[in-house]
Amino acid sequence: MRRLLVAGNWKMHGDVTMTTELVEGVAAKVVSMSEGKDLSYEVLVCPPSIYLSKAVDVAGRALSEIKVGAQNVSEHSHGAYTGEISLPMLSEIGCGYVLLGHSERRQYYGETNESVAKKFAACTAFGDVVPVLCVGESLAEREAGLTEQVVENQIQAVLDLVGIEGFGKKYLQNTKNAVIAYEPVWAIGTGKTATPEQAQEVHAFIREMLASLDRGIADSTQILYGGSVKPSNALELFAQKDIDGGLIGGASLEIESFSEICKAAQKLAES
């Protein structure tokens, strides 16, 4: 049974005060909603790299079940790569996840399917940080009927390097599958959202792509939807058969809105 995962991508927002207040505030809300019981879903926050240590520290004190992830990582473990951070560095400070290939990284910094796949392969080899592979199409690609082809190419680049086993929990020391986040680029920060049916269609396509290689891995891999998820649409999106939570952007920067999305996940997980 796949657990729902609510992940917040803070992008380039925040400071020390906000990091403390946001993590503490979300933790307090999550604890209150769960009424002291173990969480029936998962919560992840991905602040800017400079605040990762602070977020890990605050999360550990406020609620150990809130996980912390990075927004990017180098494919290299060490070396003369000015400005980069490595998987061993993330692991050492308690960071258990990393976003790979977010559309903004692809668009603004020239990341390609191949370069993203190399970072994913580094996660596979390292084994202690869960990769969250971001995939998705632009508006022009959707209108041209290329959604499935674009998404398939993005995932296939990873499969070419690590195989289907790279998505399975067997290679990870913490026995957690890799995560995939489908983020239609045309719905990020625009206020537009794929309908639940549109999102489900692509999620089902992704799961079947994995299932053609290994049904067990496909059935246990969380596939998140990322594209203007809000409290008003989270429940309907998360209720879809192959949508296992969300990669939340703007709404993750506010305690109330992010907590309401968590509430939707809890409601579904406990139903």
Q: Which of the residues are catalytic?
A: 102, 183
Q: How far apart are CA 265 and CA 225, in angstroms?
A: 13
Q: How far apart are CA 263 and CA 164, in angstroms?
A: 33
Tokens of 218: 């496909």
Helix H segments across 35-132?
52-62, 87-92, 103-109, 113-126
Q: How far apart are CA 39 and CA 158, in angstroms?
A: 31
Q: How far apart are CA 7 and CA 248, in angstroms?
A: 6
DSSP secondary structure letter of residue 230: -
Q: How far apart are CA 214 and CA 208, in angstroms?
A: 9
Q: Is the dihedral of CA 249, 241, 96, 258 positive or negative?
A: positive
Secondary structure, 3-state, 110-144: CCCHHHHHHHHHHHHHHCCCEEEEEECCCHHHHHC
Q: How far apart are CA 37 and CA 200, in angstroms?
A: 30
The number of C-alpha atoms within 13 Å of 184 and in the hemisphere containing its C-beta is 26
For residue 105, how far is the Cα from the chain centroid? 14
Nearest-10 crossing angle of helices 16-34, 255-269:
30
**Which amino acid type is present at position 239?**
A
